[in-house]
Every structure is written in C-alpha cells, then in structure tokens.
Chain A
C-alpha cells in the first residue's frame, strides 16, 4: 500500500529558530501534498496545499512567510517553521494524494521552548 513518511517524528527547538519537516511518499508519486496542524484535543486543520513545481496555497489565517512550503519533487514536500514561537508548538501531519485517496504521514511533534 501507499506509504508516507515524515521526518523528524518529534523535535524540540528554541524560540526564534527555524525547523524543517520533511514529508515523503515512499512508493508512489504525489503531485499534491497537504499539510495539517493539530492542537491538543482539537481536530486536524488544513494549513496549506502543496503542488509539485508551483507555489503552495495557504488557508486563511496561515502566514505563508512563517510556514514555508517547498514541493521540489513528486515524492518530497518540506514545511519550514521560521522563527518558531511557543504558540507554534503542535502536531504537524502531512498527506499525499493518489487519484483515489489521501495517505497520511505519522506526524511530527514540534515543541518550541
């Protein structure tokens, strides 16, 4: 079956630093990947849609200059949280689409101290 990986699985960083999260489709090519964020006891909220070779589309309220998305190949999308602050601490999950459905990565737990 389709497998999506994320790296790292968890990361702790200091306030003001930047963190990069990778999302890879391991056995299929994905022209579209999605990035979601989940706060404690909340559901997943879509942050942005990442399309290979073009700029990402951000949801309302998501700062594109703070959450940089790059989808350089059909199997890799990256999310960089720039100048992270404690309020950015969250669980970040990516998904990659086939023509049939979305497949989700295992998530990345980000803690900003």
Chain B
C-alpha cells in the first residue's frame, strides 16, 4: 500500500530559524514528489516539484530534496518568517504524470515573531 508520512505533525519555531520538514513514502516507484502549502480553509499552493530523476529543487528560501532509495524527502526553509506559518503537505505521484497523488497528513508550522 502506498503511504506518505510526515514528521513532525506540528512545529513551532521563532522567527529567523532554519527548519526542516520530513516526508517519507513507502513505494519508491514514485513519478514525482511535490510540496504544497495550505493556509487554513484554503486550497493548495504548489511550492516545489521534484521529478523522480532529480535530487533537489530550490525556490527562494525553500529547498526540497528527494532520495528515492531511502523513501525520503525533506523541505528546508531558511530564515523562517511569520508569513511562513501554514500547513505543509508532501505528496507523491504514482502511475505517471496522469496518476493520482498520495498525500501525507501535513506538518503544521507556526513561526513566532
């Protein structure tokens, strides 16, 4: 069964701190892995997408890595800001680009000013 797990479920950090969110998946036959941000009561904002052939992707203060062999991905956020407070979801796509996403339960991040 394909499962995606995210640790921790919640994280609170002071502003300016660097942090890492973890994601693990049981099936290494992943097509790609995405990190999303979800604000309360809102839809999903795609942050980074890593193809199965790639190791990492960077966008601004965000860096995501993918290690298929160990079934892990990390999202690194540098110099965190209160505006980064949200729930971060990782999801693996299986079955090609038209396949469905398997989501983790998310990590709720709170950045204190």
Interface residue ranges, A against B (CB under 8 Å): 6, 31-32, 34, 36, 42-46, 49, 91, 93, 95, 97-107, 109
Contact = CB atoms under 8 A, between A and B. Distances in A.
Contact of B100 (A42, A49, A104): A49
A46 B42 contact: no
B105 A109 contact: no
A34 B93 CA distance: 12
A32 B101 CA distance: 13
B100 A106 contact: no
B109 interface: no
A105 B36 CA distance: 13
Contacts, number: 51
17 contacts: A6-B43, A32-B98, A34-B101, A43-B103, A43-B104, A43-B105, A43-B106, A44-B101, A49-B100, A91-B41, A93-B44, A101-B93, A104-B36, A104-B43, A104-B46, A106-B43, A107-B42
Interface of B: 32, 34, 36, 41-44, 46, 49, 89, 91, 93, 97-98, 100-106
Given A36-B103, A44-B101, A93-B43, 9 more contacts: A34-B100, A43-B103, A43-B104, A91-B41, A95-B101, A100-B97, A101-B34, A105-B43, A109-B41
